[in-house]
Chain A
Amino acid sequence: MKPRVAFFDFASCEGCQLQVINLEEKILDLIDVVEVVSFREAMKESSDDYDIAFVEGSIMRPMDEERLKRIRKNARILVALGACACIGGVNRLRNEWSVDEVKKEVYDEADIEGNRLFDVFPTKAVDEVVDVDFRIPGCPINREEFAKVVAHLAIGKEPRLPSYPVCVECKKNENICVFELGKFCLGPVTRAGCNAICPTHGDGCEGCRGYLDDPRMEAAKDVLRKYGVSFDEMMKRFNMFNYRKGAI
């Protein structure tokens, strides 16, 4: 029996599900090993009978929490897909302000009081609402890593994420360290698995895959100070995907 797989999305750009579609011809191999029963972005059919749920997006409202809890109940394995689901990602940036303040900024005087569609709480990652079995980090996810995780789950093996920093992959790609190019990089504290795609294309790592289990934050800050990065700038960069995690 092929495991039955379902995809769900909450507050997100849906770019992680797009990476599944971007597997192009490889999707055909994928549907050889799993049966996709719900994938709203690409399929009309849907079913509540599934083994593995991939959940993209952050959780913003009571109505979203309810839906997520139903998904958790139905699924044997729940996988958080992408930065928004795993760590809150850029969605968490608004937590710097109160809910009322951001509503006012975006919707101004519109009458949305008591309307459930607008009834938001501060952004939560998926694991702040339900138990998460596995995570596929990144913004967006690395589609190769996604395929690998699915292959593992299909044969009942536990998928594992790299426990080393992005710098390891960056060195393997023989890149010039972007600090030497006068740029800022979170590679030293960020979990690898993206093949150091940003530094390889001349931009610093933004930490979208989340920090290592035991990041050396103080050492990282020392490096940044050495390259003359101001505290304010440092915090802005640390916060982009990992708002108030670790660095403060």
Chain B
Amino acid sequence: MGRDIDIEVRHLTRVEGHGNIYLNARSGKVEKVLWEVDEAPRFFEAMVRGKSYHQLSHITSRICGICSISHSLASLKATEAAMGVEISKQTELLRRLALYGENLQSHTLHVGYLVAPDLLGAGSVIPLVKTAKEAVVKIVGLHRTANMLSEAICGRATHPITLEVGGFTEIPTERALLGMREELENAKGVCTDVAGVVLAHADRLPDFTRETEFIALTNDENYAFYDGDLGSTDGGRWPVEEYLSITNEYVVPHSTAKYTRHNRESYMVGALARFNLNHAMLSKEAMEVAGMFGLKPVCHNPFMNNVAQLVEIMDSLVDSIGIIDELLDRGLEEESGEIEVRAGRGVGAVHAPRGLLIHDYTIDGLGNCTKANCIIPTNQNHANIQKDMEEITLT
């Protein structure tokens, strides 16, 4: 017996950003499934025109509150590439730490605050304070540690202050880094505990698979976050400057966010994409977390993105400790260098917590931006979410 179903979810909750879901079925046959993104467009690519090179990262960090550090860094990398500005090894190491701080914060927020209530059968984290206090305290503690790392490097966890073209307005003290190292070391145990809580309820993660393409930065040195080429699980590796032939943005009438496609109808970016492409670069501790859940590449279940985030929380903790050791070993130095304004075009790509993020700027001889293009991770996932919803409603 087929049923008539009409579902309309307005203002989808426990997500950053705005989306609505529509589903209509007649006599058991699905007629329409639609993922609508009705968020007001903000026109960042238009508004940065004419702005000075040193303002660009400060303006574009405001695209995303949760991933303001990766927007700043993609912006700075694009600006530096356009003007031919070199950065020091110390700056690169500190920037990688900043990205890890953000990744830890965002993943903990996602798994702990947004997803855990579903696993534990609550509407939000607030009632969990009563029913699962121990788990909540751990999640909050991990979230605080993550923000402390971002604040130690960037001056502020959201909309970083110290990141600037060519380097930093201020660098952390060795003492601050030592204190941070201890926090991160303790957080590894907390991460395992939180993974344990998720594992105990992992049967609630839907067993759903739809084969798709995964795209992420990839390099031969580490689990790519700050740098790399573009890679695909369908095969292929391209320099980031060729991103336009990978992302192929297009506009659909039911979304103010642009969609993208590459080899197939859709592709996915984010923690699962990175895991699928770069798992060989993960630390032993992170692979242990993957092992707890039996997560293996290439995994095509989008719900396992939550597990990939747990794996990355551990990896970000381990790698951050390694970077702090390297920084302390080298000794921190105040650096200063004059920035020379030069005309050019530059592409900067980093991994935001939710996936591949690209900024592309053209800068004129006065140091003003004349053209900008930003490719946002979430936008690259919209077509994939739509295709997943179409498939899941058939089952």
User: Is B52 interfacial (CB 8 A cutoff)?
Assistant: yes
Q: Residue on A with the closest CB to B156? A: A197
User: Is B390 interfacial (CB 8 A cutoff)?
Assistant: no
- Nearest-neighbour CB distance to chain B for A160, whole angstroms, equals 24
Asked if A106 and B46 make an inter-chain contact with CB atoms under 8 angstroms apart, the answer reads yes
Taking CB atoms, residues of chain B closer than 8 Å to A27 are: 140
Set B14, B55, B155, B157: member contacting A43, Cβ < 8 A: B14
Asked if A41 and B15 make an inter-chain contact with CB atoms under 8 angstroms apart, the answer reads yes
Report the number of A-B residue pairs with Cβ-Cβ less than 8 Å: 167
User: Is A110 interfacial (CB 8 A cutoff)?
Assistant: yes
Asked if B254 and A117 make an inter-chain contact with CB atoms under 8 angstroms apart, the answer reads yes
Q: Residue on B with the closest CB to A35? A: B126
Q: In the complex, identify which listed stretch (B58-66, B174-182, B225-233) lies at the interface while the others stay far away.
A: B58-66
- Nearest-neighbour CB distance to chain B for A239, whole angstroms, equals 9
User: With the chains together, A140 CA to B58 CA distance in Å?
Assistant: 12
CB-CB under 8 A for A22 and B17, given A90-B59, A94-B43, A115-B253: no
- Give residues 72-128 of A contacting B (CB, 8 Å): 89-91, 93-94, 96-97, 101-103, 105-107, 110-112, 115, 117-118, 120
User: Is A51 interfacial (CB 8 A cutoff)?
Assistant: no
Taking CB atoms, residues of chain A closer than 8 Å to B59 are: 90, 93, 240
User: Is A2 interfacial (CB 8 A cutoff)?
Assistant: no
CB-CB under 8 A for A102 and B159, given A202-B170, A236-B55: no
User: Is A1 interfacial (CB 8 A cutoff)?
Assistant: no
User: Is A44 interfacial (CB 8 A cutoff)?
Assistant: yes
Taking CB atoms, residues of chain B closer than 8 Å to A39 are: 124
User: Is A139 interfacial (CB 8 A cutoff)?
Assistant: yes
User: Is A61 interfacial (CB 8 A cutoff)?
Assistant: yes
Set B17, B45, B51, B168: member contacting A106, Cβ < 8 A: B45
Asked if B161 and A43 make an inter-chain contact with CB atoms under 8 angstroms apart, the answer reads no
Set B43, B63, B123, B169: member contacting A44, Cβ < 8 A: B123
User: Is A217 interfacial (CB 8 A cutoff)?
Assistant: no
Set B18, B65, B256: member contacting A13, Cβ < 8 A: B65
Contact flags B39-63 to A (C-beta < 8 A → 1, else 0):
1111101111111100100110011
User: With the chains together, A234 CA to B36 CA distance in Å?
Assistant: 41
Taking CB atoms, residues of chain A closer than 8 Å to B394 are: none
Q: Residue on B with the closest CB to A97? A: B46
Contact flags A9-49 to B (C-beta < 8 A → 1, else 0):
11111111111011011011001000010011111111000
Asked if A42 and B41 make an inter-chain contact with CB atoms under 8 angstroms apart, the answer reads no
- Give residues 184-217 of A contacting B (CB, 8 Å): 197-198, 200-203, 206
User: Is A149 interfacial (CB 8 A cutoff)?
Assistant: no
Asked if B157 and A102 make an inter-chain contact with CB atoms under 8 angstroms apart, the answer reads no
Contact flags A46-64 to B (C-beta < 8 A → 1, else 0):
1000000000010011011
User: Is A233 interfacial (CB 8 A cutoff)?
Assistant: yes
Taking CB atoms, residues of chain A closer than 8 Å to B169 are: 201-203
| Size class of the contact patch on chain A | 35 or more
CB-CB under 8 A for A41 and B158, given A13-B64, A18-B66, A117-B256: no
User: With the chains together, A206 CA to B159 CA distance in Å?
Assistant: 12
Asked if A197 and B113 make an inter-chain contact with CB atoms under 8 angstroms apart, the answer reads no
- Give residues 61-78 of B contacting A (CB, 8 Å): 62-66, 68
- Give residues 149-169 of A contacting B (CB, 8 Å): none
Asked if A118 and B256 make an inter-chain contact with CB atoms under 8 angstroms apart, the answer reads yes
Q: Is the interface of B mostly helix, strand, loop or mixed?
A: loop
User: With the chains together, A117 CA to B231 CA distance in Å?
Assistant: 33
CB-CB under 8 A for A15 and B159, given A22-B147, A106-B43, A201-B169: yes
User: Is B32 interfacial (CB 8 A cutoff)?
Assistant: no
Taking CB atoms, residues of chain A closer than 8 Å to B63 are: 13
Asked if B42 and A21 make an inter-chain contact with CB atoms under 8 angstroms apart, the answer reads no
- Nearest-neighbour CB distance to chain B for A186, whole angstroms, equals 13
Asked if B13 and A101 make an inter-chain contact with CB atoms under 8 angstroms apart, the answer reads no
User: Is B251 interfacial (CB 8 A cutoff)?
Assistant: yes
Q: Residue on A with the closest CB to B106? A: A18
Q: Residue on A with the closest CB to B17? A: A14
Taking CB atoms, residues of chain A closer than 8 Å to B62 are: 13, 15, 89-90, 139
Q: Residue on B with the closest CB to A239? A: B51
Set A105, A201, A236: member contacting B162, Cβ < 8 A: A201
Asked if A110 and B251 make an inter-chain contact with CB atoms under 8 angstroms apart, the answer reads yes
Q: Residue on A with the closest CB to B250? A: A110
User: Is B109 interfacial (CB 8 A cutoff)?
Assistant: yes
- Nearest-neighbour CB distance to chain B for A116, whole angstroms, equals 9
Taking CB atoms, residues of chain A closer than 8 Å to B46 are: 94, 97, 101-102, 105-106
User: Is B255 interfacial (CB 8 A cutoff)?
Assistant: yes
User: Which of B18, B50, B155, B256: most chain A Cβ within 10 A?
Assistant: B256
- Nearest-neighbour CB distance to chain B for A156, whole angstroms, equals 24
Given A24-B144, A46-B13, 16 new contacts (CB under 8 A):
A10-B40, A13-B63, A17-B65, A21-B113, A24-B143, A43-B13, A44-B14, A45-B123, A60-B42, A64-B40, A93-B47, A93-B48, A102-B43, A102-B47, A201-B155, A202-B169
**Residues of A participating in the B interface, judged by any CB pair closer than 8 Å:** 9-19, 21-22, 24-25, 27-28, 31, 36, 39-46, 57, 60-61, 63-64, 89-91, 93-94, 96-97, 101-103, 105-107, 110-112, 115, 117-118, 120, 139-140, 197-198, 200-203, 206, 233, 236-237, 240
Chosen A-B contacts, 22 in total, with CB atoms closer than 8 Å, are A11-B42, A14-B65, A24-B140, A24-B143, A41-B15, A42-B114, A44-B13, A44-B14, A45-B124, A90-B59, A90-B62, A93-B47, A105-B49, A106-B46, A117-B254, A117-B256, A140-B156, A197-B156, A198-B155, A201-B156, A201-B161, A203-B162
Q: Which 10 A-B pairs have the closest CB atoms?
A: A15-B65, A201-B155, A202-B169, A110-B251, A43-B124, A102-B46, A60-B40, A93-B47, A13-B65, A44-B123
